[in-house]
Chain A
């Protein structure tokens, strides 16, 4: 029980970190600012590429909404233990999209964006942590 609670807190903190990272990318896109790209060369190439926006919206907006949904599901789950299946489902979608985005960075753009990689790492970690999590066994 205690372990489960700790896991939920970790998932919550990871989702929060993902939300702020995605929001940062959305904000810099709207302000036409390129972030410092000191860790990995090429993040500016990724963030100004044709994949940086989908349907006119920066990828960061979709990421922020994704993590916001995870946060609210966790809050609802905290009240009634029946929402975790939605969390798992969303996480699975997140993993698929993250794999596609990593593929694009590695094989189409040949450049990586550290802020995007951090978001993708968060999604993978959330996925790994949440899948053994069985809401009915609580």
Chain B
């Protein structure tokens, strides 16, 4: 191999490795939790919302999510852990934003969780649905899996089966979806902490979230 060729090979390998290394570090930039923007037209927490945690908590986290979105499943586990750490200070408000165009079982999973909610088992069902996302995501018979979950939770199956596709369930889900779209939400999960949007929440580490919540508690 001529010296010139060795130099070319060396230069290319250095450029590839160096560029790759730069990218790894560049996208590792910590999120900037500073200057959160308050969203004025965010619908206030109402009786229609599903709420978990201390109702008089100082910090309210509103989440718009889709049960079939993988990032939402990861976020679900993170929020659950955060709620265990901030038992009295953090409440979660969960709102539906099913991405029905890209996720085949998004709608049926949302309907199933809503139907379980009508029997007081919203959170139990949403835990099961998120924790087992891989087992039903690509399954054409996902509804049967949700019926099994309903059985496991001891729900009235006749009521569950009729609620899952009732007009009122469909209306609730459609209204929730439209409300999210009107707000300009275009990705899941979208989070609001005390009405302030969290930009790029999937880039936050658990510690980033903890700090954000602690700062919010201090500010109250």
A residues touching B (Cβ–Cβ < 8 Å)? Answer: 16, 19-20, 23-24, 27-28, 31-34, 37, 41-42, 44-46, 48-50, 68, 71, 75, 78-79, 108-111
**Once the chains bind, are B202 and A34 in contact (CB under 8 Å)?**
yes
**Once the chains bind, are A16 and B15 in contact (CB under 8 Å)?**
yes
**Once the chains bind, are A79 and B101 in contact (CB under 8 Å)?**
no
Interface residues on B, range: 20 to 34
Q: Mark B62-77, 1 if CB is under 8 A from A, else 0.
A: 0000000111001000
**Once the chains bind, are A79 and B15 in contact (CB under 8 Å)?**
no
Q: Considering only CB atoms, which chain A residue lies closest to B68 in the complex? A: A50
Task: Report A-chain residues with C-beta under 8 Å of the C-beta of B24.
Answer: 27
**Once the chains bind, are A19 and B16 in contact (CB under 8 Å)?**
yes
Task: Report A-chain residues with C-beta under 8 Å of the C-beta of B69.
Answer: 48
- Given A48-B71, A111-B102, A78:B202 Cβ within 8 A: no
**Once the chains bind, are B102 and A31 in contact (CB under 8 Å)?**
no
**B138 adjacent to chain A (CB < 8 Å):** yes
Q: A27, A33, A45, A68: which contacts B99 (Cβ < 8 A)?
A: A45
**B215 adjacent to chain A (CB < 8 Å):** no
**Once the chains bind, are A42 and B186 in contact (CB under 8 Å)?**
yes
Task: Give chain B nearest CB distance to A45 CB in angstroms.
Answer: 5
Report, nearest first, the 6 A-B pairs whose CB atoms are least far apart: A44-B187, A33-B203, A109-B102, A49-B102, A32-B202, A110-B101
Task: Give chain A nearest CB distance to B195 CB in angstroms.
Answer: 22
Task: Give chain A nearest CB distance to B106 CB in angstroms.
Answer: 11
B residues touching A (Cβ–Cβ < 8 Å)? Answer: 1, 5, 8-9, 12, 15-16, 19-20, 23-24, 27-28, 69-71, 74, 99, 101-103, 137-138, 186-188, 200, 202-203
C-alpha gap A68/B13 in the complex (Å): 10
A-B contact pairs, 5 of them (CB 8 A): A45-B99, A49-B102, A50-B102, A109-B102, A110-B102
Task: Report A-chain residues with C-beta under 8 Å of the C-beta of B27.
Answer: 24, 27-28, 31, 33
- Since A23-B20, A71-B12, A75-B8 are in contact, a sample of 13 more A-B pairs with Cβ atoms closer than 8 Å, ordered by chain A residue number, is A20-B19, A20-B20, A27-B23, A27-B24, A31-B203, A34-B187, A45-B187, A46-B102, A48-B69, A50-B138, A71-B16, A75-B12, A109-B102
**Once the chains bind, are B101 and A111 in contact (CB under 8 Å)?**
yes
Task: Report A-chain residues with C-beta under 8 Å of the C-beta of B187.
Answer: 34, 37, 44-45, 48
Task: Give chain B nearest CB distance to A135 CB in angstroms.
Answer: 18
Task: Give chain A nearest CB distance to B214 CB in angstroms.
Answer: 22
Q: Considering only CB atoms, which chain A residue lies closest to B71 in the complex? A: A48
- Given A16-B15, A41-B186, A50:B71 Cβ within 8 A: no
**Once the chains bind, are B203 and A32 in contact (CB under 8 Å)?**
yes
C-alpha gap A111/B137 in the complex (Å): 20
Task: Give chain B nearest CB distance to A8 CB in angstroms.
Answer: 12
Task: Give chain A nearest CB distance to B84 CB in angstroms.
Answer: 21
Q: Considering only CB atoms, which chain B residue lies closest to A31 in the complex? A: B27
**Once the chains bind, are B102 and A79 in contact (CB under 8 Å)?**
no
C-alpha gap A99/B62 in the complex (Å): 39
**Once the chains bind, are A34 and B186 in contact (CB under 8 Å)?**
no
**Once the chains bind, are B23 and A33 in contact (CB under 8 Å)?**
no
Task: Give chain B nearest CB distance to A109 CB in angstroms.
Answer: 5
Task: Report A-chain residues with C-beta under 8 Å of the C-beta of B70.
Answer: 48
